[in-house]
Structure 1
Amino acid sequence: MSDVATPSARAPGRHSARVTVAVITRNRRRSVLRTLDRLAALPERPQVVVVDNGSVDATVDAVRAHPVGAQVVAVGHNTGALGRNLAVRHATTPYVAFSDDDSWWAPGTLDVAADTLDAYPRLGLLAARTLVGPDVAEDPLNSVLAHSPLPLAADLPGRPVLGFLACAAVVRRRAFLEAGGFHRVLFFGGEETLLAYDLAARGWGVTYVSSVTALHHPDPGGRSGRSAVQRRNALLTVWLRRPVAVALRHTTHLVAAAARGEREAGAALRGALARLPAALRDREPLPDRIEQAARLLDRAPS
């Protein structure tokens, strides 16, 4: 069986019965409206759920007025990545594609994703190829995922992985909810690995399928403090799911970096220590087979 199926025909003027696009946003009205413009133009006509994480720039009113007809969930405060969990719970389709307020999907690709998920019942999450900016440059993560050392599985398409980019992923709604979605301890930033672990631990496949394409147009310069948050969450993910010896080794490395005066390492360490008690309460070590896969990825060249 081939990795993906041919996109199926769909009657014009109807919203997709298979895919909802879930968008989270906060105080980025212009950016999220651009994303909605792109989603409204897709031939699949996906349903759209927008979770607003407490914007104060009139985002909610602007999104409600947009012709894409999005369902708006106005939270009133910043839920971080947990806003995606809310969006998935509000979705009524079997599959949910994630977009951030600076990303969207290539025309036709959501049908490819849905056909792939239809064809592979064990597939819980499909990691897409990400093209960045107006020059549609390859995101470096594409190569990392494409060269994953994890062995191929006959009942899964593409390359098995234990990581993905959240704004370039399509999930099976049932699998996502079964795994608990994105974890509250991490909040936001580098939250994907933990979800991949939790899906795999429950028997769901997580694979990279390059024929599904997400388009990401981040603001130039990025967001301050993001690296520290990602390092914090990487350490918390290890404490949540990996053996204690592995977690202690990762902690030692971060402590050493902080001791050398690396500012971001110090901020990451302080943030991890503040959240560590909550992480330990939710600690659930991976099954042996998934831990072995995680160790294989640990040894892979970066």
Structure 2
Amino acid sequence: MSVVVPCFRCAATIDDAVDSIAAQTLRPAEVLLVEDASGDDTLAALHRVAATHGTDWIKVIPLPANRGPSHARNTGWQQAQQPYIAFLDADDSWGPRKLELQMAALEADPEIALIAHQMLVRPRGTAVPAPQSPAGVQIVGRGTLLVRNPFPTASVVLRRDLPFRFDEDFRRSEDYLLWSQIVLSGYRCAKIDQVLAIWNRRENGAVGLSDDFEAIHQGRRDLRRKLVRQGLLGRHEYVFASTVGLVNKLRRDLFRSLRRRRRASPA
């Protein structure tokens, strides 16, 4: 197992992320920290972390220019040496049995090309809930990908030899596009019905790419159009997925408007 971590201005969070990898009950063979030209003290922090855990286990890959998480993940993917790759973002954390349970599912069903699991948003430092036994594994079909992204990036383990990569022209929904290409091409994909990792909640006032909902909506329209051009999405599926996307946008816009009104109302 290789673990790929794209790193951009993450000096404050990378220790927690790598500690959660080191705490795995099934230790991965290598960890690739891909430094995306942060321009701050991130690279020094990565070398410090590598020295702490062992440079024979952690490899720091500095990029000459900032090109975004897709390029960073693809670079790690290209240099990975193991048959399976797991992805972790530098500000998130895994539970200790994540890789153990995923590899057990892959051994039980070797036809699975990608396997993910549930995640929760919690304050930094929150422990991942202990998984229940036995862990259930559900196969995820193309219908699910038409309406939502069921695979959080930090939950995914996939085969290194898959003939796909993150689209570096996409700054949003690039993960959703990749998972869609894999599923719609007929590969067997699955999800464990357990929470095995946590999205660490950002500090008050911090924003990220996932907070620009208009850009996300546009990115998903571009995603669907690309899948049609690639022959992976039929006309009726495109219309259905576009309708679901529009309904979700309208619902989200309505909820945001109601929240703003409540905040503006006098007590």
TM-score, normalised with respect to structure 1: 0.65
Deviation at 1:48, TM superposition (A): 0.9
2:109 is aligned with 1:120: yes
Q: Which aligned pairs between 1:162-173 and structure 2 lie closer than 5 A?
A: 162=145, 163=149, 164-173=151-160
Deviations 1:158-195 (A, max 9, x none): 141422221221112122xx1x2111220x32222211
Is the CA contact 2:167–2:174 (under 8 Å) kept in the aligned structure 1?
yes
Q: Which aligned pairs between 1:256-275 and structure 2 lie closer than 5 A?
A: none
Q: Identify if the C-alpha distance between structure 1 residues 93 and 60 changes in structure 2 by more than 3 Å, giving closer, same or farther.
A: same
Deviations 1:112-145 (A, max 9, x none): 111212222332221211022245699xxxxxxx
Deviation at 1:90, TM superposition (A): 1.4
Is the CA contact 2:112–2:189 (under 8 Å) kept in the aligned structure 1?
yes
2:231 is aligned with 1:285: yes
2:194 is aligned with 1:211: yes
Is the CA contact 1:23–1:100 (under 8 Å) kept in the aligned structure 2?
yes
Q: Identify if the C-alpha distance between structure 1 residues 126 and 293 changes in structure 2 by more than 3 Å, giving closer, same or farther.
A: farther
State the alpha-carbon separation in 2 of the partners of residues 168 and 88 from structure 1.
Answer: 16
Is the CA contact 1:133–1:216 (under 8 Å) kept in the aligned structure 2?
yes
Which residue is 1:72 aligned to? 60
Partner amino acid, structure 2, of 1:181: R
SS in 1 for 2:12: helix
Partner amino acid, structure 2, of 1:133: R
SS in 2 for 1:43: coil
SS in 1 for 2:119: strand
State the alpha-carbon separation in 2 of the partners of residues 112 and 87 from structure 1.
Answer: 23
Which residue is 1:25 aligned to? 7
2:112 is aligned with 1:132: no
Partner amino acid, structure 2, of 1:232: Q
Which residue is 1:191 aligned to? 174
Is the CA contact 1:109–1:211 (under 8 Å) kept in the aligned structure 2?
no
Picking from 206, 213, 230, the partner of 2:216 is: 230
Deviations 1:66-97 (A, max 9, x none): 22331111112222222111111211112111
Q: Give the unaligned 5+ runs of structure 1.
A: 1-18, 139-155, 243-282
Partner amino acid, structure 1, of 2:191: Y
Partner amino acid, structure 2, of 1:182: F
Q: Percent identity?
A: 23
2:37 is aligned with 1:54: yes
Identify which range, 86-95 or 210-219, moves more after superposition: 210-219
Greater RCO (Cα-Cα under 8 Å, separation 6 or more): 2
Runs of 4+ aligned residues of structure 1 deviating over 3 Å after TM superposition are 134-138, 290-302
Which residue is 2:261 aligned to? none
- Cα RMSD for the two superposed structures: 2.9
Deviations 1:7-55 (A, max 9, x none): xxxxxxxxxxxx2221111112111122112222223222211111101
SS in 1 for 2:60: strand
Q: Identify if the C-alpha distance between structure 1 residues 207 and 43 changes in structure 2 by more than 3 Å, giving closer, same or farther.
A: closer
Picking from 86, 90, 108, the partner of 2:79 is: 90
Q: Identify if the C-alpha distance between structure 1 residues 298 and 170 changes in structure 2 by more than 3 Å, giving closer, same or farther.
A: farther
Q: Identify if the C-alpha distance between structure 1 residues 73 and 287 changes in structure 2 by more than 3 Å, giving closer, same or farther.
A: same
Deviations 1:188-210 (A, max 9, x none): 32222211221123321232212
State the alpha-carbon separation in 2 of the partners of residues 23 and 173 from structure 1.
Answer: 15
State the alpha-carbon separation in 2 of the partners of residues 55 and 190 from structure 1.
Answer: 22
Which residue is 2:46 aligned to? 63
Is the CA contact 1:104–1:214 (under 8 Å) kept in the aligned structure 2?
yes
Deviations 1:143-162 (A, max 9, x none): xxxxxxxxxxxxx9414142
Deviation at 1:291, TM superposition (A): 7.0
Partner amino acid, structure 1, of 2:48: A
Q: Identify if the C-alpha distance between structure 1 residues 216 and 125 changes in structure 2 by more than 3 Å, giving closer, same or farther.
A: same
SS in 2 for 1:210: strand
Q: How many residues align?
A: 222
Which residue is 1:144 aligned to? none
Which residue is 2:161 aligned to? 174
TM-score, normalised with respect to structure 2: 0.72
Q: Identify if the C-alpha distance between structure 1 residues 211 and 224 changes in structure 2 by more than 3 Å, giving closer, same or farther.
A: closer
State the alpha-carbon separation in 2 of the partners of residues 50 and 82 from structure 1.
Answer: 13
Is the CA contact 1:55–1:76 (under 8 Å) kept in the aligned structure 2?
no
Is the CA contact 1:25–1:100 (under 8 Å) kept in the aligned structure 2?
yes
Q: Identify if the C-alpha distance between structure 1 residues 299 and 56 changes in structure 2 by more than 3 Å, giving closer, same or farther.
A: closer
